[in-house]
Chains A and B, each alone.
Chain A
Amino acid sequence: SQKIEQNSEALNIQEGKTATLTCNYTNYSPAYLQWYRQDPGRGPVFLLLIRENEKEKRKERLKVTFDTTLKQSLFHITASQPADSATYLCALVQGSNYQLIWGAGTKLIIKP
């Protein structure tokens, strides 16, 4: 079965630097992959979607890459800010009804 792996250890980044988070999956390449942000005690919030035929997607300070050969997606936040501190979740779509398979998330801490 498909599994998603994200670094379970918190990532500490100095403000202003670029934060890079990794998402690896084990089996088939999904049609598309999504990244979400989750703050403590809140539901996830959609950030970006990248399709298997797209190498890179950008949105403001966010950039996502998708390498189907490596079975990996990278999520970058440039010019990071303390407000970017949150847990970031990677998810793959499974099935025709948009059921998602989730990674455990990586906690990002941006230090001022």
Chain B
Amino acid sequence: GAVVSQHPSRVICKSGTSVKIECRSLDFQATTMFWYRQFPKQSLMLMATSNEGSKATYEQGVEKDKFLINHASLTLSTLTVTSAHPEDSSFYICSGPQGNEQFFGPGTRLTVL
């Protein structure tokens, strides 16, 4: 199957700082990528749909100015959590579709102190 990587896998930051998470499709091109957030023992919650060459589409309740998404190329999408706060601590996962399947990155554990 296709491979999606994420970097970093874990990040700890101070409140008020910004954190960038990268999502790369290693062996396929993705015009669309999805960003999810998952809290412990809860389902994946779609945050936004990242579109190569155009603006991301955000789900209701997700602040676009706080969660900046840039889909710079067909293999790279980035999520920047700006002015992070402890409540932003979560597991962030990206995915890219290929055919009828979604291929997920390994996730990024963000802890905001």
Contact = CB atoms under 8 A, between A and B. Distances in A.
A99 B34 contact: yes
A46 B44 contact: no
Interface of B: 1, 4, 6, 32, 34, 42-44, 46, 49, 91, 93, 95, 97, 100-107, 109
Interface string A28-68: 00001010000001111110010000000000000000000
A44 B107 CA distance: 9
- Say what secondary structure dominates the interface of chain B: strand
Most buried by B among A32, A43, A44, A105: A43
Contacts of B44: 44, 89, 102
- Chain A: interface residue count, which band? 20 to 34
Contacts, number: 52
Given A98-B32, A99-B34, A43 B43 contact: no
Contact of B105 (A43, A98, A102): A43
B102 A98 contact: yes
B109 A43 contact: no
A44 B91 CA distance: 12
A45 B102 contact: no
Interface string A18-36: 0000000000000010100
A69 interface: no
B42 A46 contact: no
A104 interface: yes
A79 interface: no
Nearest to B9: A41
A43 B32 contact: no
A43 B106 contact: yes
